[in-house]
Amino acid sequence: MLTKRIIPCLDIKDGRTVKGTNFVNLRDAGDPVELGAEYARQGADELVFLDITATVEERKTLLDLVRRVAHTINIPFCVGGGIGSVADVSKLLNAGADKVSINSSAVRNPQLINELALEFGSQCIVVAIDTRYIEQANGYEHIVHTHGGRKPTELRTIAWAKEVEDRGAGEILLTSMDTDGTKAGFALELTAEISDNSNIPIIASGGAGSVEHFYDVFTAGKADAGLAASIFHFKEIGIPELKTYLKEKGIPMRI
Amino acid sequence: MVAIVEYGMGNVASVQKALRFLNVDSIVTANFEKINQSKYIILPGVGSFRQAMENLEQRNLISFLREKVTEGKPFLGICLGMQLLAEKGYEDGLTEGLGFIEGEVIRIPESNLPVPHIGWNNISIKIPQYFDKLTDSNFYFVHSYFFNAKNINDVAATVNYGSDLVAVVQKNNVFGTQFHPEKSQTAGLQVLKNFIDFYA
């Protein structure tokens, strides 16, 4: 049976792991190489690395970091942040990433998803969707945001999720900015709705604060994977304890 | 020495790293002489069946690899590299494969489950030769197509994902895993070690 995945996420700025609340107020959370190795040891099912600054000068730092992290782990490794071309993806894969996550560049140029999927295969392309529930002309709607969650777009989240799948995305990394950093639980209804409308795996992100929240996102939220950052970085929840808890509750887990 | 075939299809570094961890020397190469001098051949691969066969052809590797397998060199295909062991594949149009094991590579049948099949899944072992000393039977899979083997005797393990899909093929000196042993932590490393040790 396919197990549900637990994925720690490292947000990277200036070569360090950072974590904020609702995408701001960043705190330092340690050395990404050490954290990555530690999570692999603890039984993380995958590791995600998001370069949240992604400026040109940071790219070299990132590539070097990706190389060092890939060297210390033997679990799948996904890298995102500032990826806009086939060449960017090639460099990251050569540095040791197994998949890449694209976000703003996919919104700006949706054809990029098709190009990357054709070049590297769908299994390699994760489309990250940052979403916020905001007031529109006809009332509140889930709207896609870009630039680390700062800029609203015209895109409705559910329609965009369908579109990225049709264009060849292999997975969707769905981050609710309404819940991100709040530790009040994942956005269950939205995650379930997107999962029901998709034929590709959904990684839920944003809001994990307790082991129960992961249980909820795998049941009510219908997610294939649960991603979190600060609760792991600050040792509020240990990955082994989390996985044992979920397994005892009947969620298929690799222990 | 293990020759990891370099043919422009995916991340060979992680396979090399896994072998290094097992203290097994390896070289990433498409050079005939270097492959000849190696005791084992590993064919990794990520991407499409058609592209992979085209890349092998460009490097004149198809007939060469067929020769090596006939000579009896231990050969391991991983993920797409495992699928290429088939006679033909239907990804991106019909393409002839290496043909080491009878069968064809087709899309994972429609069910209520997502495709690609991504994540850790346990396997049911049919031929235990390379599956000794495992502490866990979960391995990391990521694929949209699978190897529909013709002969059940060539199927070394299956994985249940909607239906039972071929996870591992094995015939004489040829071994192929749909999962990524190099990404499957202790269990994956053990399978690699078992394969190496068997011919050591």
- B119 in contact with A at a CB cutoff of 8 Å? yes
- Please give the average per-residue pLDDT across A140-148, as a whole number: 91
Q: How far is A45 from chain B (nearest CA, A)?
A: 8
Task: Verify whether the Cβ–Cβ distance A98 to B115 is below 8 Å.
Answer: no
The phi and psi torsions of A181 (rounded to 5 degrees) equal 80, -5
Domain, as residue range, for B58: 2-198
Domain count, chain A: 1
Task: Verify whether the Cβ–Cβ distance B119 to A71 is below 8 Å.
Answer: no
Q: Which residue has the tokens 């890939």?
A: A70
- ipTM higher than the 0.85 cut: yes
User: In chain B, which residue's Cα lies nearest the Cα of A198?
Assistant: B114
Residue A29 pLDDT > 90: no
Residue A184 within a domain? yes
Which residues in chain B show pLDDT less than 70?
Answer: none
Give the pLDDT confidence score for residue A120 in this predicted structure: 87
Contact B7, B52 (CB under 8 A): yes
Percent of chain A exceeding pLDDT 70 equals 95
User: In chain A, which residue's Cα lies nearest the Cα of B165?
Assistant: A1
Chain A: which residues have CB within 8 Å of chain B? 1-5, 40, 45, 70-71, 74-76, 93-94, 96-98, 120-124, 170-171, 198-201, 224-225, 254-255
Q: How far is B65 from chain A (nearest CA, A)?
A: 24
Give the pLDDT confidence score for residue A181 in this predicted structure: 85
Residue A139 pLDDT > 70: yes
Residue A22 pLDDT > 60: no
CATH number of the domain residue B50 falls in: 3.40.50.880
Contacts across the A-B interface (CB distance below 8 Å):
91
pLDDT in tens, A157-194: 999 999 999 999 999 999 999 999 899 999 999 999 99
Please give the full DSSP string across chain B, using - where no structure is assigned.
Answer: -EEEE-SSSS--HHHHHHHHHTT--EEEE--HHHHHH-SEEEE---S-HHHHHHHHHHTTHHHHHHHHHHHT--EEEETHHHHTTSSEE-TTS-EE---SSSEEEEEPPP-SS-SSEEEEEEEEES-GGG-TT-S--EEEEEESEEEEES-GGGEEEEEEESEEEEEEEEETTEEEESS-GGGSHHHHHHHHHHHHHHT-
Residue A253 within a domain? no
Domain, as residue range, for A153: 5-248
Give the pLDDT confidence score for residue A54 in this predicted structure: 65
Domain count, chain B: 1
DSSP class of A78:
E
- What residues in A contact B21, CB-CB < 8 Å? 74
- Please give the average per-residue pLDDT across A8-15, as a whole number: 88
